[in-house]
Amino acid sequence: MIDRRLMIVGLVSAMALVAGPVRAFDAKAFDAKAFEAAQKEGKPILVEVTAPWCPTCKAQAPILSNLAKDPKFKNVVAFQIDFDSQKDLLRKFDVRMQSTLISFKGASEVGRSTGDTNPASIEALVAKSI
């Protein structure tokens, strides 16, 4: 007979594989070369400064995920910066708090917000990059 704990662990593992993590815009960990290349190509860019313990970041994730499904945002290149471990990048982007979103149109910063969980204003921020 299958051990109950083993069955539960298997079920939870299967659910995690199916659901996967919530990632907005398929954001990649920040990579300076990829960021600079996207800027040079004039691409719309979103930088998300997040922390795993941040409730505001967790509230922003489904909003960004929904926006990522919108065809008008299909070309947005997104990067994530970890607030706890990437302090050098926080200084580079002049970020003081997690849940900061920074929108770029090529090399130009076109907007930023911190702590925003309003879907309409987050959409407006991302739209500035297009």
Residue 45, classed as helix, strand or coil, is strand
20, pLDDT greater than 90:
no
Q: In what order do the strands lie in the sheet with 77-82?
A: 28-29, 77-82, 44-50, 100-105, 108-114
**Residue tagged active-site, from 57, 76, 122, 126:** 57
What is residue 114's predicted lDDT score, i.e. its pLDDT? Answer: 97
- Neighbour-count burial of 71, counting CB atoms closer than 10 A to its CB (0-12 exposed, 13-18 middle, 19+ buried): exposed
Cβ–Cβ < 8 Å for 101, 82: no
- The pTM (predicted TM-score) of the whole model is 0.80
Looking at the chain, the whole-number percentage of residues with pLDDT higher than 70 is 82
What is residue 27's predicted lDDT score, i.e. its pLDDT? Answer: 80
Integer angstrom CA distances of residue 126 from 10, 28, 42: 39, 17, 15
Give the domains, in start order, of the chain with CATH numbers: 22-127 (3.40.30.10)
Question: How confident is residue 24, by pLDDT bands cut at 50, 70 and 90?
Answer: low
Distance CA(87)–CA(105), nearest Å, equals 24
Known catalytic membership, residue 54: yes
Distance CA(89)–CA(49), nearest Å, equals 10
**Residue tagged active-site, from 34, 51, 54, 127:** 54
Of 11-25, 51-65, 102-116, least confident by mean pLDDT is: 11-25
14, pLDDT greater than 80:
no
